[in-house]
Amino acid sequence: MIEQARIYLDYNATAPLRPIAREKMMSALELIGNPSSVHAEGRAARALMEEAREQVARLVGARARDIVFTSSGTEAANLALSPAVESAGRAKPLSQLIASAGEHPCVLKGHRFPLAAVELAPLAADGRIDLDALEAAVSHADEGRVMLALQGANNETGVIQPVAEAAAIVRGRGGVVVCDAVQLAGRAPCRIERLGADFLILSGHKLGGPKGAGALVSAPGAPRIGAPLLRGGGQERGFRAGTENVAAIAGFGAAAAAASEEMDNEARRLQGLRDALLRHISAAAPDAIVFGGKAERLPNTLCFGVPGVPAETLLVGLDLAGVAVSSGAACSSGKVARSHVLSAMGVEPALAASAIRLSLGWRSTEEEMARFGDIFAHVLAPMRRNRSAAA
């Protein structure tokens, strides 16, 4: 009997490395020069890195000179979310951070504002930020002293946030907008000018690049980034000291270029696969509930719950059967925690505890969706029987 390959449905956590990214990384690893050196070897390394900077910039409609490479999206968030961010003409520093209640932990925990200066903007039941509540919060803050942190798309539900509308509210009063575009970039339109954000946060491994490379992107005319996290040499225009990880950056750039080139066709393909997944799930569990299903979502993401079936039990069962998924909740040290995103959406705790997230990507296939349907039905059936017997 031929053993079938595992089915990977956790692209929002990390995507498999694209072959083009691996190829670019292997070429970079052959280079011996430091990109800060002026000799030929150093210039070769620098050229590869600057090519990647151009590729990442094109992905989000930015200028290459406005890309600061970091080790991750988390580091980029920590760099941007600071009251030290400067702006021409601002008499006083930023004094308040407003973040949506569904932000990733790298935003909720990665800022440099005093905790007393942080306010969470609520989510509506569909998972989108409550714009009326945001406007009220901004109107009560000091003019021009507010920073908004808002995801482009939520990592758990895939719900796409109204970044442009929120940015108009905040920037209309002279505030600063930081958008965590880690899940959005390469999967849906993510041009920094149209989003209206001052800064975008990116991560290479969500696109099929390597882990260990991220970026902070500034819009033209954006405030100057505040105090760097890492001090030392003058790398990344003084905003991120330390010899750059040339191989990881090169892989990031190659993945960004591939994602940008195929995005429109890939979005249609993935939405078709996602819809097929939902049909299989509904056939096995007609009472399954899709979280954020009434809002615009990323084409690759499906977060659902089967009432009465704990996410952890279903996740383990699927894993043992050869399917990699994640809980809708954040995972820390292998333990499934209650989802702050679903709580912010007003989902009842018992239902939120059933949340499973499926996320697709460049290597996902129709055949895998059909296999998942069979496996899901097989794994779920005894769980439902046991629940009925216990009742």
> Which residue is listed with tokens 């951070």?
97
Instruction: Give the rounded distance of the alpha carbon of 65 from its chain centre.
Output: 23
Q: What are the Cα distances from residue 85, in Å, to 18, 91, 203, 376?
A: 35, 12, 21, 48
Active site residue 331: yes
> Which residue is listed with tokens 């979310």?
81
Contacts of 13 (CB under 8 A, 6+ apart): 326, 359
Other beta carbons within 10 angstroms of residue 48's beta carbon come to 21
Angle between helix axes 19-29 and 40-59 (nearest 10 degrees) is 160
CA dihedral (341, 343, 348, 349) in degrees, to 10, reads 90
CB half-sphere exposure, 85, CA atoms < 13 A? 30
Q: Which two tokens stand for residue 317?
A: 């069962």
Going 85 to 91 to 93 to 95, the CA torsion angle's sign is negative
Catalytic residue selected from 179, 190, 303, 331: 331
Angle between helix axes 40-59 and 246-284 (nearest 10 degrees) is 30
Catalytic residues: 331
